[in-house]
Every structure is written in C-alpha cells, then in structure tokens.
Structure 1
C-alpha cells in the first residue's frame, strides 16, 4: 500500500528539524511540514495526512484551534499534540475536540517513535494481519470466565514493542471513546515496562485475555525486576487494576474508557437534580440583572475599558444550573431565541460563499454577528464574548473589500466563521439548554482567541495579546 502521511506542525524551524530527523526512522511514512496552524489546515485539505504532529503554542493560528478545525473536517486524522505542559483544563478541552494522544517536551525520541509507529501500524493493519491465538486456561487473577483464546506478543526488540503498542491503540481508537486522557498514560506505562524488561537482551511475553468489558494483560518477565520509580508512580494510579508478583505483572483495563456523549446526554454529575426536567426559572429580579442594568453601557465602552472587560477574571466556578436558575425568564428566552439565528448563520455564510461581495459580508456581520453580540451583551458575565463578536463584526465590515479581493482569504474566512458558528451553538446549548457544564466560563478564552485569530489572519498580522497569562490560551 502507499506510505502513510505524517504532517509536522511547529513554528520553530529547529523544532521541525529535530522532529523530522527523529521521524525519518519511521517505516512506511511520507513527511511534510507546516509552520503554523492555518498552514496545517490548508495542507490537510489538499494532502490529507494520516497523522498530524501538532505543536500547541504557535502564531497566526495556534495548535488548539487548528486541531479543532482538522478534527471537525477530517475526524479520521490522528492528531498528536506536542506540548510542554498538560494541565487538566487543557487535557479536557483537547479530549473534547478529538486529540488522540500527547507528546510532552522535552521530547523522548524513542517514545515518540513508539507512539507514532504504533498508530501507523494500527492503520496498516487494516490490510489484514492475523494475531497468534492459543487455547489455555485463564492466566489473569481478575476473571476466569473469559473467552478461550489469547493474544500473545513475544517482546524481544523494538519492532515487537511497536506491534503491541499498535494493538493497544487500535483497541481504543476503533471504539467511540474519549481516549487521550486515559489511553496515553497506559501506552506510556507499557512502553516503559517493555523497555525495562528487554534490557540486556532479555525478553518478555505479553498475553492478552478478553471479556466484553475488559482486557486482561499478563506480562511475564524472564527474571524478577525492580520497577523504576516512574513506573511505580503510574501503576499506583491504577490501584487494584495492577497486580505485581516477582516476574509477573497482571493488569485489568476497561475496553471502554469513556464513551463519547451526544449533546443530548452529556451531563456532568448533576446528582442534585432529582428529575430530567430543567430547574424552575426564578421570575424575581436577580442581583446579576441589577448589575447588568446599572452597567449596561460597559458593553459599548471605549476601547481601553473594553480591553479590561476582556481580562476580567471569573475565579469562582459557576455551574450552568446555578447560573440559569438565577436568570430572569425574559433574558433566558432571548438567549434561547438565538437558535433562530443558527440557520440564518449558515444561510448568510452560504450566500457569501456563492457570491463573495462586500455587501454579503457586511450583511452577515450586521444581521448575524450583530444579533448575537447584542443579545449576549445583556449578560454581564459574557461581556467579553459580546465584545469579541462585536469587534469581529466591525473588523469584517471595515475590511470587507480587502477580504473579497483575495479568494484564498475568502475561503479561509468562510471555514473559520463556520467553525465559530458551531462553537456558539455548543456554548448556548450546554449552558442554557442542557445546563450540563460545571463552569459557565469554560469557553471564554477560546471564543476570544478565535475572534482575534480571524482578525489576525484576515489582516496578515500575528496576534499579540498583552498579559496573555491571564487568559487560557493553548
């Protein structure tokens, strides 16, 4: 079959050279490079890579936004995020857009080869490679009532390690799961176990037994081993799902980590709600409404004050259930009525795509972006979002003629606005309809970043936001 395609995305040339030098050792791979997220999206449209190695912090379009667009347009592409830090918020957001796995800096070249080759082997397996099966009694101590066949890996060298990594990735990537926060540490753990077990020309065997819900993995080492501290720390996180005795390690893994939830069922631990009906909306005037009434002019404040609004910090988490229950009924109705603009968003954008004229772009900015920003400006907690949309609308109207003169910019703008529209639908749905978010501000910085990046791309400028450490950029 044809070689697999790997796209390396990093704005630093030295980093690309290092990654390319490492990845040249991969078998059956063709490699291309991109210097930022926007370039990666464009290359993806024409070249269709199988795997994208995506740096996160980049100018023009960062890796988070680029990954979101790529996974939305081509969900079959495996995106590997390259980042120096993985914090819980980043991990959650990357998981939700479909990032499959991580590479952390400083880069372990053997680990990156292991992960990429395992993924690639999973893809090549679709041509059909049988696995060795045997019929023996159950080896694992967790469950004796399992199917009689076993999958056996004889680990003697790097190639056989890749085979096992491919198997693990294939088991979970083939299912409808949110994998990156669960699968990545498991792959890394088994990689370290195999690397330690095969040192000094030793070998180990991995025997896999299966039930419908679980995988049981038994590792037999040639000799008793003392586990490295990092391995011990990871094993401890899995608690009773790992048992170690002398030269044998037994592991129990769920076949389904966390099934992807549909928009209708994605509810996060709403135990305080006794039924599936929405909480009763209070009709009294809330403190939030009083503040909004008093400070309504802040939405139209001068630029310097609006920049302060963009950096206001909501350090206290507010769940959507608590927030909506404190809103007035009229305000909530206005937000829910924004659903009527979803179709208009698509229609106006489609009209602009068919006839890319100044008038059609200005009409989209006024009729759609303007309506959204005007309605959202009634919510004090989302003044930053209202400003970002309003600012974007003004920018597009001012630059309409310059944008439509460049067909490439027009095409890119349509793609980015379409993506922004989907995100706004998700924002409205999860906060005000499903009320299933634990923090109503979970998308604030993402929206602001998206709007600013659209402006930057359309004006050929890199975005330089002062005090960006106050915002959650990726």
Structure 2
C-alpha cells in the first residue's frame, strides 16, 4: 500500500514541529513542511500532496490565496485549514474555494488524528485500495457496495470509529452535503460523542438514512447522553438541524446541489473529466426513485418503541404542528384531482395529482424525523405515478383500482393528521405506518402487473 503525502504549512517553526510530532503517529503517511503559502504552492506542484494542513496568517502568501491556487490546479487535494479564527466570513470564503475542513486551535491531538485517518481512508477508498466499508454493518441485503439507503455503524473500537469517519468525510465533503466549516463541527461533535461512549464502555450504534433531499445520522447510546459544554455550543450552532432525546441524537443534513470551487470553476474554458463525472453521478442519484420491497420492509421497522401523540406534539413545538394542520387545505384538492383523473384518465391529470398533493404532503412531512419513512413512501409514490402514468391510463381496471387506493390513502392521511396533531389521542404515533406502506406497495403492484398482498391490516395498531 502506497504512502499518502501530507504537507504541513505554517510560518512558525514550533507549530510545524507540534503538528509533525502528532502526525508521525499516523501509519503510511509521508510528511513534508512549508514555511509559507508560496512555498506550499511550489512544493505542491512538484510533490503533489494528498492532504495539506494549511495555516492562514503567513508572510509572502497567506493560506487563503495558497489554497485558492492549489485547489484550482489540483482540486483533488484535500486542504485542512489550521486556525484559531472562527470568523463565519472566512469559513464561507474558504468553503467557496474548496477547502475541505478545519482544525481549530488550541489543537486537540486525538481529533486531528481522527480527521486525518478518516480523510486518508476516504482517499484510499477512491484509489481502490479499500473496496468497501465494513460489510458486517450493512442492512441492505441486495448490494453491500451500495450504502446510500441505510447503514448501521456499531461503534465498538477505534477501527469502527474510523469506518464512520471515513464514510462521513466521503459522503459530506465530496458530495457538498454541508459547507466545510459546518462539516468540521459535525465531525467534532460525533467524534466527541463516540469517544465519550467508548470511555464509558457503552455499546453505540450510528444509523444513517437518506431521503431525496436530506441525510439523517442518528447515534444511539445505552444511557442518557451527557452533553459537554463544547457539544452544547455545536448543537446551538445548528439549531433545529439536531434533535437530542434522552439517549438519541439525530442530525439532519441537507444535500446542497452545488459544485465545489464555484468561484473559479467558471474561469476555466472546459470542464474536467472529474467534474463531468460528478454531474453524471448526481443525475443518476436523482433518477433512482423506488426501493425494492425488502427495503420498504426495513423502513416499516424503523420505529419499535411506542410514542403517544400528546408527548410527541409537546416535544416538537407549535410551528411544525401548524404546518401539518395546514395540510387540511389539501383534502378538497385531493378529491377534486382524483375526480378529474377519473373523468379524464390522462397522463397529465395523474401527474397533476402527484405534483399538486402528494409532493406537497411529502415535502411538509419530511421535516419530521419520526415520519421520514412516510415522507419517503409518499415521495416514491409520487415519482412512480409520474413515471408510470402512461401504463395506468391504458387499462380501465387499473384506473378504477388506483383511484380506490388513492382515496383510501387520502383517508389514512386525514386520520393520521387528525389523531396525532389535532386530537392527540393515539397511543402510538406510528399506528398507520403499516397501512401507508401497504397502499404504496399495492399501487406499485398494480402498475407492474405483480401480485398484490393486501392482508396487511392485521398488523396495524389503532388508538
């Protein structure tokens, strides 16, 4: 296995000595040093480092200008800024030129090693030196190389921490899920949580799930989470994007559809092969709409503990509840669009139903962590209807059955909204999950001429 090249850039010799001493603990790393940004650019051109630890304030050329030049010439080089400054404008500027993450002063030696090991593993993964992450934790039964549906990391040792760190950097930094300053905070928070759990000899699990627009990362402890002051500061920076409930912490990360290095990418006369490939991969990801039935079974099993509606509504707050209750305005439109489709069963009318009501429901519900599976089901159904509309309108029997199922789905959504958010009288907020997924699978079966198993109501638990 070839060594990764690490360049340490700092005008203060003592700082370079400290960083080199820390980084010497890394296996399979070759290290060089530069005294300023200009020398860093020159060394990069000759040596092509994989990772650069870049100071900001330096003579001749500062870290910002050096990073901008290096990222323009060698976008695959990972640049980690080492700074004591937490200025949001600086982080925004660094993010725009492609800086990947930060190491904050005073330096946390263990955190530096965790970040470098995670980034190094991500680089080796792309180079083919590591083919996959640990397969023992994969839930997907169809393809162990596909990790975008749901993954579980059992954090039992340092190696499993590195597995998660590698995945986090590879997914977030390379696919523009979050800006570099925010990614740095996320890495730090999960690192501290994992270290705390390991220190207390707890069994930790990290569950990763994705919708079309967001990634959800949930860490589960055996005992109640104890938040250190630094953890609280990080959580406050993210506000509603993190939820902490007893022994569970969940992060909701949006997938920003942006290209890295946007400031100087426009200056190039042609797109690189790597950029073209990223665009193609992004298009492919957006076109994967439906999940196999086994994956839907996993979605339906996501919540095993009962939560009563009154406690749930009290926890999430009034603004979100108001948004859900406002969905009542779609009830009449749901019926009207179905009636229009029944009278004129055209591709266009079915697509209008999917866009006008299903997509609106899915978008609103997607903000609720506990109902991510429901939002996923409605989103998948809407896209499926739009893609397969031409197949349905050709068969009068399918049209009749589809309308009946969509009417039942609408009634279920009304009951879901009423008994959880309005009356708050159900003992289990997931009492209708089984019915929702049964309806979606039946609709898929009708369109694809598969057998339909509707005997699913026996599993439902009503209030």
Under a length normalisation based on structure 2, what TM-score does the superposition of the two structures give?
A: 0.51
**2:98–2:261 Cα contact (<8 Å) kept:** no
| Deviation by residue 1:21-75 (Cα, 9 ceiling, x = unmatched) | 1011112211111111111111111110000001111222221221111111111
**1:203–1:221 Cα contact (<8 Å) kept:** yes
- Structure 2 gaps, min length 5: 142-146, 267-463
Is 2:169 aligned against 1:133? no
**2:96–2:262 Cα contact (<8 Å) kept:** no
| CA 1:218–1:4: 2 relative to 1, 3 Å | same
| Deviation by residue 1:167-204 (Cα, 9 ceiling, x = unmatched) | 11100232256731321111111112112222133231
Within 5 Å, give how 1:425-444 maps onto structure 2.
none
| Deviation by residue 1:336-373 (Cα, 9 ceiling, x = unmatched) | xxxxxxxxxxxxxxxxxxxxxxxxxxxxxxxxxxxxxx
| CA 1:158–1:56: 2 relative to 1, 3 Å | same
Which position in structure 2 is the counterpart of 1:94? 94
Which position in structure 2 is the counterpart of 1:153? 153
Within 5 Å, give how 1:366-377 maps onto structure 2.
none
Which position in structure 2 is the counterpart of 1:234? 234
Is 2:44 aligned against 1:44? yes
Which position in structure 1 is the counterpart of 2:336? none
| Deviation by residue 1:253-299 (Cα, 9 ceiling, x = unmatched) | 21337555857999xxxxxxxxxxxxxxxxxxxxxxxxxxxxxxxxx
| CA 1:4–1:252: 2 relative to 1, 3 Å | same
Query: Take 2:31 and 2:263, find their aligned partners in 1: how far apart are those partners?
Result: 36
Q: Relative contact order (C-alpha < 8 Å, sep 6+): which is higher? A: 1
| CA 1:82–1:135: 2 relative to 1, 3 Å | closer
Which position in structure 2 is the counterpart of 1:105? 105
Which position in structure 2 is the counterpart of 1:196? 196
Q: RMSD over aligned Cα, in angstroms?
A: 2.6
- Structure 1 gaps, min length 5: 137-146, 267-474
Query: Take 2:184 and 2:92, find their aligned partners in 1: how far apart are those partners?
Result: 13
| CA 1:248–1:64: 2 relative to 1, 3 Å | same
Which position in structure 2 is the counterpart of 1:165? 165
| CA 1:83–1:265: 2 relative to 1, 3 Å | closer
Deviation at 1:123, TM superposition (A): 0.8
Under a length normalisation based on structure 1, what TM-score does the superposition of the two structures give?
A: 0.50
Q: Match of 1:201, SS?
A: coil
| Deviation by residue 1:81-120 (Cα, 9 ceiling, x = unmatched) | 1111121221222122211111111111111111111111
| Deviation by residue 1:417-471 (Cα, 9 ceiling, x = unmatched) | xxxxxxxxxxxxxxxxxxxxxxxxxxxxxxxxxxxxxxxxxxxxxxxxxxxxxxx
Within 5 Å, give how 1:301-450 maps onto structure 2.
none
